[in-house]
Structure 1
Amino acid sequence: MEFSRVLAQAAVTDVEVAERWYTALFDGPPTTRPMGGLLEWHLTPTAGVQVWCDAERAGRSCVVLGVAGAGVVDALATRLAAAGTAHGGVEPGGGARLLRLTDPDGNLVVVTGP
């Protein structure tokens, strides 16, 4: 079996609130809206993030995103702070730099890079 695509998913209670938060994170609107209550950001041709309205699972997701290039995590932290997205700042972790974010439902989003 060969897998060819991955979509991480965050379950949320209010897709409109989540859309605003994830639009700020990804610096743009969803790539597609496959069906009601589902938003997708296609980050590469084979990877992306889904935001799915599922109140029973909301707040228990974790999405880890890797970025390339020195300073990208720091630049993201600066941009998000300027846009009003609270976070604890960039920290070292596992030989990389991490930015831990929490969406409005409490889902953990970790951005990691050099």
Structure 2
Amino acid sequence: MNFRNALAGVAVSDIAASIEWYEALIGRPPDIRPLPHVAGWQFPGGGWVEIFVEPERAGKSTVIFAVLNTEKQLEELAARNIPIIYETPSEEIGEVAMIQDPDGNRIVFAGPLTGVMDD
């Protein structure tokens, strides 16, 4: 198999509240709304994050965002009043930080990721 990209799916309980939260996090409205209970954001370097209503699984998802500058990302999160629940440097992948969406899904920021973000 030769995979070229991936889509991260995040189960949420309330699509309207979650769209508002992810818009604040990502900084823009969703790129697609293929169904009333689904919204998705595409990223320039590839990949998607899609949120969808599935209350029984809400809060059990994890998404890892590869970022170029974790320190800058943490500053932006602080400016948006999004609390960081975990932060640590990692020799293998650089700085790692974690936040949670309103349902408790884990959103991890890691970077820079060698081999993932190289030009």
Is the alpha carbon distance of 1:18 and 1:94 closer, same or farther for their aligned partners in structure 2, counting shifts above 3 Å? farther
* Aligned match for 1:111, one of 96, 109, 112: 109
Contact 1:24 1:80 in 2 (8 A): no
Structure 1 residue runs without a partner (length 5+): none
Contact 2:86 2:99 in 1 (8 A): no
Structure 2 residue runs without a partner (length 5+): 113-119
Q: Equivalences for 1:41-80 in 2 at 5 Å?
A: 41-44=41-44, 46-68=46-68, 72-80=69-77
**What's the RMSD between the two structures over aligned residues?**
1.7
Cα separation, 2, equivalents of 1:54 and 1:32: 18
Does residue 1:101 correspond to 2:99, yes or no?
Answer: yes
Contact 1:64 1:109 in 2 (8 A): yes
In the TM superposition, what whole-angstrom CA distance separates every residue of 1:29-75 from its partner, at most 9, and x where no partner exists? 1111111110100013641100111101100001111122xxx2111
TM-score under structure 1 length normalisation: 0.87
Q: How big is the shift at 1:14?
A: 0.6
Indicate the SS of the match to 2:33.
Answer: strand
Q: When the two structures are aligned, how many residues end up with a matched partner?
A: 111
Q: 2:35 corresponds to which residue?
A: 35
Contact 2:85 2:100 in 1 (8 A): no
Structure showing the higher strand proportion among its residues: 1
Q: 2:79 corresponds to which residue?
A: 82
Indicate the SS of the match to 1:20.
Answer: helix
Identity among equivalent positions (%) equals 32
